[in-house]
């Protein structure tokens, strides 16, 4: 059976009960609201969950979700390279919520303090480091301007490779790890 590589909200919503929904955002982002019955397998842990994801895909088609669709597209490509068919939700949870559909929350179901989306965290961190490098370069020593150049180079590399080292580092911070589900058995409740 051929699985489309992407589904928009109007295509995914009617068949949600027949899909295994995997959210590849950080645990902190996942806790800030996710699709019903979604399981959190952060993108940086995807390769460690291939066995479980393969088993899940044999029972139900996989729908991979993130905030905007970029990380889920990367996850779909990674899974495809391992022979695991999956679809990405176009527009991610942003499009889901914009379509008027409810997001669910771990634990007691009440909305926790929101964690910024990873892309927003990266923009804040990169911008802050660039400004810091420029200010220190002007006030203390011109060599500090190299910090701004390094961040700029990192952003160019990130765009060219469609990866983000800064997101991997930020994803390890405690507020982005809070509420993580056990990656060893992500579909036990499904």
Instruction: Return the structure tokens found at 132.
Output: 């810091």
Domains of the chain, earliest start first = 6-115 (3.40.250.10), 118-170 (no CATH)
Q: Can you give the pLDDT at residue 182? A: 43
Write down the pLDDT at residue 112: 57
10 Å Cβ neighbour count for 40?
Answer: 23
For 183, the token pair is 């990656």
pLDDT at 139: 94
With a cut of 70, list the residues of the chain below it in pLDDT: 1-2, 107-115, 177-190
pLDDT digits (tens, 9 = 90+) for 179-188: 544 444 455 4
Over the stretch 80-89, which tens digit does the pLDDT of each residue have?
999 999 999 9
C-alpha distances (whole Å) from 166 to each of 119, 171, 172 are 10, 8, 10
Residue-level pLDDT at 110:
54
- Directed axis angle between helix 118-139 and helix 145-161, to 10°? 150
Residue 148: C-alpha distances to residues 25, 59, 65, 124, 165 (Å): 28, 49, 33, 14, 16
- Amino acid 22: pLDDT: 97
């Amino acid at each position: 059976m051929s699985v489309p590589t992407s589904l928009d909200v109007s295509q995914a919503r009617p068949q949600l009960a027949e899909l295994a929904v995997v959210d590849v955002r950080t645990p902190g982002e996942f806790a800030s609201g996710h699709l019903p019955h979604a399981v959190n397998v952060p993108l940086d842990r995807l390769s460690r969950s291939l066995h479980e994801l393969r088993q899940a895909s044999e029972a139900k088609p996989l729908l991979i979700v993130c905030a905007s669709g970029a990380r889920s597209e990367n996850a779909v490509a990674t899974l495809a390279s391992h022979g695991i068919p999956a679809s990405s939700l176009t527009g991610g949870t942003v499009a889901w919520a914009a379509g008027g559909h409810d997001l669910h929350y771990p634990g007691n179901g009440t909305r926790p303090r929101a964690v910024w989306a990873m892309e927003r965290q990266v923009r804040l961190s990169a911008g802050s480091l660039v400004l810091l490098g420029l200010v220190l370069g002007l006030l203390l020593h011109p060599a500090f301007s190299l910090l701004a150049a390094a961040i700029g180079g990192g952003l160019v590399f990130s765009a060219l490779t469609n990866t983000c080292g800064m997101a991997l580092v930020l994803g390890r911070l405690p507020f982005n790890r809070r509420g993580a589900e056990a990656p060893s058995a992500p579909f036990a409740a499904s």
